[in-house]
Structure 1
Amino acid sequence: MAIKINREIAGDLNNPSSELLNYCISKHQDSLSRLQKLSDYYDGKQDILKRTKDSAATPNNKLLINHAKYITDMNVGFMVGNPVAYSSSNDIDQLTDAYTKVDIVSHDTELEKDLSVFGIGYELVYLKQDTKTNKTYPDIKCIDPRGIFLVTDDTIDANPLFALHYQAVYNLQGGVDYYLVKYYSDNRVLTYKATSIGVGDYELIKALPHYFQAVPVIEYRNNEEQQGDFEQAVSLIDAYNLLQSDRLNDKEAFVDAILFIRGFSLDDGDGEKLASEKMLQTTAMPSEVDASYLTKSMDESGIAILRDSLIEDIHKITNVPNMNDENFSGNTSGEAMKYKLFGLLNLMSIKTRYMVKGMRQRLELFANLLKISDSSVDIDGIKIKLKPNLPINTTDIISQIVQAYQAGILPLKVLLTWLPDIDNVDEVLKQLQTEKEEAIELNQKAMGTQAEDSHSDLEDKGNVDDNSKVQKEE
């Protein structure tokens, strides 16, 4: 998360001091334990796997049902399963081409995953050289929040001052050889080498200018609190894993229950015989002999109620529906599905506001660089739209578009945005215009051919009539 610092205390941003770098890195490392735990929960490294029992003979099954991964994957697919659409009344082909070159669709998917897991995401915009043409072009990459952060001033506007990206460089023995620290300001990229981070000095090894006219690192928020999508449900996830593990432990203990025999004793070898033959005969057996297993009673119905309650709470807290629920039947219409996904749609509306804010900063960075190469793009009128990835009845949507267009209620450019698979409305309108022109040209050619054929028929008919007259005169 962004670290705030007073602008005057920060000093010369073109030549930052070691004290400033150490302070900022130390503040960032205070949040690493939380970020690491969220990453572990998504990866399936959850607390249930660390569970121990005092007795080695006691069953200790560790069942992990990864609700954290399910919640994140559902949110990522719902948010960016349909590519983000950009539309404008101005020509933005240069910008969309630049986005296509860097595969912005895959990048947005990776970014949303970081947002869903960590509650925060970072992307770095930089210049990359094309190996085939030797030309440079703007590229973009997601950076793990555990190794990068943004520093802003302490005003209400939180203006970005610089960003720091640090990473360990390992030797062949697996140990840390040194650390690389990259410092991004609004005009320079400084690379430092350090034996440790958070303390000590930093050796400047490279200084390069950049042309983005702003700090080329963008911070995205998942929500105002910068929390992950499953962070509030971690305790519920742990409780569910524990309940399911104990259910299996109880079943295993029931199968391996101790046999309690009262009223007589077993001779040598009788225990092994009883275990193998499941029956034991004796000639002297008192009347008060009794044998039973030591087990504890299990209320399966009560456990099932608790399990269902935990599942319901997990999905309620995270606003992610249980798609295996009977409410999501195969014949549910798209419109009815929206009501069942109302909580997830509300969650998306909140996440979208913060994501679009970061995407506008991305537009500015790309536009600033394109302006240098005489490819000016007006980004003020660009509209960014995230479409939820929902089951959609395309036939009904097309019918509604046709009816609205014929009635003259809305322009075609607006109506085409209703279709889920259209990312660039202007491109579709160009294709429609091209097809209309080609159709008109074909019709004109066809009409011309028919006219020529009709004229030829008339000429042939005239020749036949003339020949008939000649024959009659003869």
Structure 2
Amino acid sequence: MQGYMLGNPITYDSESENLLDKINDFSKQNSADYHDGLLETDLSIYGRAYELVYSDTNAQERITKLEPEQTFVVYDDTIAANSLFGVRFYQISYSDSNTNSFVEVYTADRIYYYKSESSSFSSMTFVNVAEHMYNGVPINEYKNNEERLGDFESVLDGIDAYDLSQSELANFQQDMNDAYLVLIGNPVTGTAEPEYQKDEDGNPLLDDYGKPVLTANSSTSVFEDMKKARMLIMDNNSDPDGPNPNAFYLTKEYDSTGAEAYKKRLVDDILRFTFTPDTNDQNFAGTQSGEAMKYKLMGNDNLRKTKERLMTRGIMRRLRLLGNVWAIKNSVSTTGKQEGLYDLINDIQVKFTPNVPQNDEERVSQLKQLYGVISDETLFSLLETFTGVDADTEMKRLADEKQQDVDNFQEQTGYSQLKPDDGGVNG
């Protein structure tokens, strides 16, 4: 989902060019594309993700991802569920016997730091307090859904069953290598010579490796030679009522057809309940039309839109926190003060572009049919998905090209030097 949803960077649209430039500069300085991808990965795994909006030593606004296992946000009990404070707790091990614990509490205007010179969080010591200018809890929480569940948590039983079936197959393959050899009848094991060679005192002789030396043509020696040659020579059965000589490995029968069908059903259920298209399906891509592909991606696309709405809420809160600082610094020109910038941020459009294969030829053909029906700016916005050039830049390039053509024409013909009555037949 992370690559499908955020394979193309998030873009912003605003009526304020100054604000849009500020947001784009901030995104570049903080590698927001990569940062947003990390957030979506945490959302898919943990069902929630956290980021910290802070100012570095140069008073520049920054964002960083926090670990979901080490962060939480406390909200009030009103219907608006306003955030009261956020907590980040973590440990640093300086050696095997020296571990310190740290807790940071972020409120709407201050940060409280606590420390413990042990691995326990039960006895923390207050260190210091610092102020910040974000006018809100700077820990920003993102939700994957209202239940804060990861994408795979609803199918954990199916995943465990699939892992177990794969493990059983691996165990079966190992059991095949370790299977017992069953011998029916007596193998030809040579003469009745003593098993091991002995010295004058009757003690077994040892080789250079400390192992007893076998007597040539003894039962054990012959059997070892059979093992090395990977063959068995069986005696004829002297008992007419006894079993015929035989040798085989004792193994379980493996129903490969039934096992593969079971695993396929598990995979199909996992994909269906997580709204994930089967990219290994032979009918998934190939020569299918774009409309047919849309139907296959419909379930996944609906889930993507839900995730986009929830992520947009977090991104908008990020921008509002940044706007509070930008208003204080007066780094964005607006007609009003902080309220004016706040309103401009609320009007920002956050745009997600799914990363899906596109038929460029079909896309261009469709856009050609729209030429003259919609505005050029809208047309170039639609073209941006595979040209990578935004509408404003494309329109400026076209205007520059037209102006260059006019300049070249005037330079070649001297048309700009002509007076209105030049060239008349009557002079």
Normalised TM-score (structure 2): 0.79
Aligned to 1:179: 101
User: For each residue in 1:262-293, what CA deviation from the matched residue of structure 2 results, as whole angstroms up to 9, or x when unmatched?
Assistant: 34477532543443341314366444324243
* Distance in 2 (alpha carbons) for counterparts of 1:195 and 1:431: 59
Query: Of the candidates 293, 311, 315, which is equivalent to residue 359 of structure 1?
Result: 315
> Which one has the bigger helix percentage?
1
The alpha-carbon deviation at position 207 of structure 1 amounts to 1.6
SS of 2:350's equivalent?
A: strand
Who is 1:447 aligned against?
410
**Of 39, 63, 71, which aligns to 1:111?**
39
AA of the residue aligned to 1:276: K
Specify which of 228, 245, 253 is matched with residue 276 of structure 1. 228
CA contact (8 A) 1:168 1:178 kept: yes
Counterpart in 1 of 2:361? Answer: 395
Shift of 1:406: 0.9
CA 1:256–1:205: 2 relative to 1, 3 Å: closer
1:381 is displaced (CA, Å) by: 1.6
Q: Which residue in 2 is equivalent to 1:416?
A: 380
Amino acid at match of 2:4: F
Whole-angstrom distance in 1 between the partners of 2:236 and 2:387: 88
CA distance in 2, matches of 1:341, 1:261: 58
SS at 1:136 equivalent: coil
Q: 1:125 aligns with which of 17, 35, 53?
A: 53
Structure 1 segments unaligned to the other structure (5+ residues) = 1-74, 130-134, 460-474
Within-5 A mapping of 1:72-151: 75-91=1-17, 92-129=20-57, 135-151=58-74
Residues 273, 280 of structure 1: 8 Å contact kept: no
In structure 2, how many angstroms separate the alpha carbons of the residues matched to 1:192 and 1:360?
Answer: 30
Higher relative contact order (CA 8 A, sep 6+): 1
What's the counterpart of residue 311 of structure 1? 267
Q: Larger Cα Rg: Structure 1 or Structure 2?
A: 2
Give SS of 2:270's match: helix
Is residue 326 of structure 1 aligned with residue 252 of structure 2? no
2: CA distance, partners of 1:413 / 1:196: 61
1:225 corresponds to: 147
SS at match of 1:406: coil
Could you report, residue by residue, the CA deviation over 1:377-434 in whole angstroms, capped at 9, with x for unpaired residues?
4212211111111001233333333432312xx3333333333257884xx3244235
User: Equivalent residue of 2:372, what SS?
Assistant: helix
Which residue does 2:208 correspond to in 1? none
Q: Which moved more, 1:234-243 or 1:436-445?
A: 436-445
Could you report, residue by residue, the CA deviation over 1:195-227 in whole angstroms, capped at 9, with x for unpaired residues?
468864432222211111111111000111111
Contact 2:186 / 2:235 at 8 angstroms: preserved in 1? no
Gaps of 5+ in 2: 190-218, 333-340, 423-427
How far residue 305 of structure 1 moved from its aligned partner, in angstroms, is 0.8
Measure how far apart 1:175 and its partner are. 3.6
Alignment length (residue pairs): 373
Q: Name the SS for the 2:371 alignment partner.
A: helix
Mapping for residues 22-101 of structure 1, pairs under 5 Å? 75-91=1-17, 92-101=20-29
Local SS of the residue matching 1:166: strand
Q: Deviation per CA, 1:31-61, whole angstroms, max 9, x where unpaired?
A: xxxxxxxxxxxxxxxxxxxxxxxxxxxxxxx
Amino acid at match of 1:420: T
Cα distance 1:375–1:396, how it changes in 2: closer, same or farther (>3 A)? farther
Q: Residue 384 of structure 1: which of 350, 362, 379 is its match? A: 350
Note closer, same or farther for the CA distance 1:206–1:354 as it changes in structure 2 (3 Å cut).
same
Q: Distance in 1 between matches of 2:110 and 2:271?
A: 46
Determine the C-alpha separation between the residues in 2 that align with 1:454 and 1:424.
Answer: 37
Secondary structure of the structure 1 residue equivalent to 2:232: coil
Is 1:152 aligned to 2:104, yes or no? no
1:192 aligned to which of 90, 111, 114: 114
Distance 1:430-1:248 versus aligned 2 partners, 3 A rule:
closer
Residue of structure 1 equivalent to 2:160: 238
Structure 2 contact 11–352 (Cα < 8 Å) conserved: yes
- Is the CA contact 1:90–1:381 (under 8 Å) kept in the aligned structure 2? no
Distance of 1:199 and 1:342 partners within structure 2 = 47
Check conservation: 1:84, 1:423, Cα contact below 8 A.
no
Q: Report Cα offsets for 1:442-467 as digits up to 9, x if no partner.
A: 31441353146999xxx9xxxxxxxx
Matched, 1:212 2:129: no
With the length of structure 1 as denominator, give the TM-score of the two structures.
Answer: 0.72
1:178 CA drift (Å): 2.2
Counterpart residue identity of residue 381, structure 1: D
Inter-partner Cα distance in structure 2 for 1:423 and 1:123: 28
1:120–1:226 CA contact under 8 A, matched in 2 = yes
Matching residue of 1:165 = 88
Q: Which moved more, 1:176-185 or 1:252-261?
A: 252-261
- The one-letter code matched in structure 1 to 2:375 is P
CA distance in 1, matches of 2:174, 2:396: 71
Show CA shifts across 1:316-363 (max 9, x none).
122222322212344444443222222211211111111111111011
Task: Provide the C-alpha distance between the structure 1 equivalents of 2:24 and 2:388, rounded to a whole number of angstroms.
Answer: 10
Distance of aligned partners of 1:265 and 1:103 in 2 relative to their CA distance in 1, 3 Å threshold: closer
Find the aligned partners of 1:200 and 1:254 in 2 and give their Cα distance: 53
Give the partner amino acid of 1:289: N
Note closer, same or farther for the CA distance 1:424–1:221 as it changes in structure 2 (3 Å cut): farther
Confirm or deny: 8 A CA contact 2:188 2:234 kept in the other structure: no
**What RMSD, in angstroms, separates the aligned Cα atoms of the two structures?**
2.8
* Paired position in structure 2 for 1:9: none
1-side partners of 2:37 and 2:385: how far apart? 17
Q: Is the 8 A contact 1:95 1:366 kept in 2?
A: no
Cα separation, partners in 2 of 1:176 and 1:156, compared to 1, 3 Å: farther
2:257 to 301, 317, 320: 301
